[in-house]
Homo-oligomer: A and B are copies of this chain.
Amino acid sequence: VGTTITLGLAAMARGLADRTGLVTALPHFRDLPLPEPAQFVIGGHDIRQTTFAASADEFRQNSGVFGAEWIDACRDELAAASDRVRPAPQLGLGSAVLRLANWNEPKPARSVRQAIDLIAADLAAFVAAQSIDHLIVLNVASTEPVFRLGPIHKEWDVLEPALADAGGETLPSSAFFALAAIGAGHTYINFTPSLGASFPACWELAQTTGALHAGKDGKTGETLMKTVLAPMFAYRNLKVMSWVGHNIFGNRDGLVLDDPINKASKVETKDRVITEILGYKPSSLVTIEYLPDMGDWKTAWDHIHFQGFLGSKMTLQFTWQGCDSLLAAPLAIDLARLADLEKRRGGKGPMRHLACFFKSPEGVDENDFFKQFDRLVDHVASEHQP
C-alpha cells in the first residue's frame, strides 16, 4: 500500500493518473481546502530494506497492474521517498512478521519506551528536514496478532511509567508508533486491524496533546460489500440465515495473515459488521487464505442464504475481484486529506466522521456504509465555517 500511495501521489502530481478511486475527488468535497498530491512528502518506517521502485516493479509483474511507463516517469519521486524510509524497531513484532524482516535497526530498542523514543526522534527529524506542516502517521503495516487489553491500558498515568521496563507483551509494535505520533501532537491513522491507538490510555494522551486520530482497518472490499448489502436485507425485512465469506489473496499481507494468530484479528472485524447491522446474528463463516499465485488480487466469494415471505429460502452470491493495494491507497490518501482539513479547522481527538473508511470505526456504532457516508458529508459541510 505504501508503494501505491507513493506512486499514486507522484503520478497524480505529474498529471499522469486521474483521481478515480479518491472519495475526496467527488463533488461533495469540491471547494474544500484539501492538500493536493504535490504537497505531500512521503517518508516511513519498514522492517524490510527495499525501494519503492523495486516494490512497484514487483507489484506490476505479479499483479499486472499499472504500466511500466508510470514507474519510469516517477522514478525520482520514488527514490526520494525511499531515502526517507527508516528501519522500524523490531520489538513488539509478531513472529510471522519477523520472519520477513531483513533490515536491522542500528540501536535495537530494548523496551517500549526506547522504541517510542526512537520513532519519535525519527518523526521529529523528518518534520525538521522536510519542513512538514502537519505530520500524519499512517499505519499500513502487516496485521498483528490479536492483542488483548488489560487494566494497565486504561490510564496514561498508569501505563506511562511502566513503559521503561516493558517489552512486546505490554504493547504491540503498532502502539509504539501511535504513542510516538500522538505524544508529539501528530495525527495518527490506523488503516489496519492492529491495536494502534485503540486503547483508552492512548485516547487520553490524545486529549492532552490535541492530536487527531482515526481507525481502524480500511474498508476496501468484501467488508464494504457487507456494509452495503446487509442494510438492504434489513430494510426489506429479509432474514439472513447464513452469511459465508471466503477470501483468497496472495500479497505479503496475506502471507502474514496465513499465520492463524494474525488472521484471527482480521476475521473478527470482518464478521462483526453483519450482526451489528442486522441486529441479530446469522450463522456466519469468514476465511482468509493466502495463495501466492493471486498476487495482490483478492477474490472474495460470499454466499448469503436468506429467508423471505412464507418461509421461502433464497440466495445471493457475489464474487469480488479487486486489487487490494489499489483499493486501499486512494482511501489512505483521502484519510490524510480529510485529516488535514480537520486540523486546519482546529479539530482534536477521534475523527468519528471518517467511519465510512473503516471496518471497525472507532467510537461509532453505525456500520451501515450509507449512513456513515452521509455523516462524513454532513460533517465537512457543517464545519465549513467553524
Contact = CB atoms under 8 A, between A and B. Distances in A.
11 contacts: A11-B310, A17-B310, A20-B309, A64-B65, A65-B311, A242-B248, A246-B246, A246-B301, A283-B292, A301-B301, A319-B319
Chain A interface secondary structure, helix, strand, loop or mixed? mixed
A226 B299 CA distance: 20
Given A23-B235, A232-B369, A319-B317, A309 B291 contact: no
Interface in A302-325: 303, 305, 307-323
Interface of A: 4, 7-8, 11, 17, 19-23, 25-26, 61, 64-68, 70, 224-225, 228-229, 231-232, 234-239, 241-242, 244, 246, 248, 283, 285, 287, 289, 291-295, 299, 301, 303, 305, 307-323, 326-327, 329-330, 356, 368-371, 373
Nearest to A11: B310
A224 B228 contact: no
Contacts of A23: 235-237
A32 to B, nearest CB: 15
A308 B330 contact: yes
A270 B75 CA distance: 47
Nearest to A228: B232
Contacts of A26: 234-235, 237
A-B pairs with the 4 shortest C-beta distances?
Answer: A21-B309, A241-B293, A318-B318, A64-B64
